[in-house]
Structure 1
Amino acid sequence: MESGFQGHNLVRAVVTAEALAVINGLQFALDLGFTKVILESDSRLVVQNIQQLSEDYSESRPFTWDAKNLVRKFNSCRFQFIARERNGAAHAMTVKGMRTERDSFWVENAPLKALEVADSDRQSIRPP
């Protein structure tokens, strides 16, 4: 499990921030030498724009194009939409990242709060 937080003070649109997060995540995975990845996002629009074969005319089009180009560098790359309510760990890492003055990246670990929330997320989706 790898994750990170990178500040973008000039980004105002949520969809743009989400698309940039996807690009940064893909580049991070490439930098670490991964060839097979599953990228999860709580932005259904960004995931759909990347997965669709037709042309993307949304405001995040340049970022969608960049993401699609990065995807070609992997042997396998799958995108999944995960509702924010089911992925509290991502929110916990974002909160932690926003409290620091520098970019933060975690490889094979995460802030304690994020690990606790991830465990809770896993338990909430298990069948009874």
Structure 2
Amino acid sequence: MCYCYRRWPEIRVHVLWECGAAQDVWAGCLVRIQKIPNGQSDNFQLFGDLMDKLTRPEFEFFLVQAWFIWNQRNIVIHGGSFKEPGWLNKRATEFLEEFHQTQVQLSISTPLSPRSSWQPPPASVYKVNFDAAIFSNLNCSGFGAAMSVKGLLVTCSEEAEVLACRKALEFLVDAGFSNVIIEGDNENVMRAVSSSSRNHSWLGNIYEDVKWLMRGMQVVSVNSVKKGGNEVANVLARHAKNVVDEMFWIEDSPPPAVKALYHDSINIQ
């Protein structure tokens, strides 16, 4: 039963919307949210009604406030007490403003003049370089970054590069890296990845996947580099021709790329 009001089952729609403790919070927020009636069967119906009747900023506010209500219930269950509803509404507004400001501060840019040699990242920041190679005789492609993997059949170099970028970001997420610099040697791909506008090309869905993965990380910058500054990733991409399954080297120098790594190390400025 509901931890705050023992008369009702503690289902999700009750916790976030119908519980008296939640209603005290909603009563002090946006008028349009207050007008949404009770009686929804579940959260899916509640969210559907809200999405139909609220603007996007209003729905974003609802989601943030619902998160605060859920968080506050956990605090109460573990011995704490509810914050005053007015404080929760004020904090939700501030939280959403902070989030939007952060997105502006984390906006990314592509340098106009790509570098010709690889450079190490600043302290506490990781860099991922990726590249793609197309093996027309095998009807497949290879992706190289911190990994080397034989990929799918692709139709052009741009498709191969953006798929390689997505694979590199998936690796970063799985490995737990968040504070990163992303580098590739296809200027068009890097420009599209760093753009804040939606990509409407036939590869748009893949670009949106890339941006969605980036939103979960602290991306310092997205850079375009020349082939000479991306040689390790290039070597790994070409090595994928000989690979059947995914291969990972963690903390070790990938044997196929040792020569390229040495070249990078002696050219660091």
Among 121, 144, 147, which residue is 1:4 paired with?
147
Matches within 5 A, 1:11-50: 11-50=154-193
Among 197, 203, 208, which residue is 1:54 paired with?
197
Counterpart AA for 1:14:
S
Among 236, 252, 256, which residue is 1:93 paired with?
236
Question: Are 1:19 and 1:64, in contact at CA under 8 Å, matched by a contact in 2?
Answer: yes
Q: Secondary structure at the match of 2:146?
A: strand
Cα deviation digits, residues 59-114 of structure 1 (max 9, x gap): 32111111111111113342111111222211211222221222222222232341
Match of 2:264 in 1: 121
Counterpart AA for 1:49:
A
Counterpart AA for 1:93:
L
Matches within 5 A, 1:47-86: 47-86=190-229
Among 99, 104, 114, which residue is 2:247 paired with?
104
* TM-score, structure 1 as length reference: 0.84
Cα deviation digits, residues 106-127 of structure 1 (max 9, x gap): 222232341221221343353x
- Take 1:94 and 1:76, find their aligned partners in 2: how far apart are those partners? 23
RMSD, matched Cα: 2.0
Q: Answer with 26-35 or 6-15: which moved more.
A: 6-15
**Which gives a bigger RCO, structure 1 or 2 (Cα 8 Å, sep 6+)?**
1
Alpha-carbon distance change, 117 to 61 in structure 1, aligned in 2, over 3 angstroms: same
Counterpart AA for 2:244:
E
Counterpart AA for 1:74:
M
Question: Are 2:184 and 2:230, in contact at CA under 8 Å, matched by a contact in 1?
Answer: no
- Take 1:38 and 1:29, find their aligned partners in 2: how far apart are those partners? 11
Question: Are 1:5 and 1:103, in contact at CA under 8 Å, matched by a contact in 2?
Answer: yes
Counterpart AA for 1:63:
I
- Take 1:39 and 1:107, find their aligned partners in 2: how far apart are those partners? 18
Q: Secondary structure at the match of 2:248?
A: strand
Aligned length: 126
Question: Are 2:179 and 2:220, in contact at CA under 8 Å, matched by a contact in 1?
Answer: yes
Structure 2: gaps of 5 or more residues? 1-126, 128-144
Give runs of ≥4 in structure 1 deviating > 6 Å.
none
Alpha-carbon distance change, 119 to 59 in structure 1, aligned in 2, over 3 angstroms: farther
Alpha-carbon distance change, 107 to 123 in structure 1, aligned in 2, over 3 angstroms: same
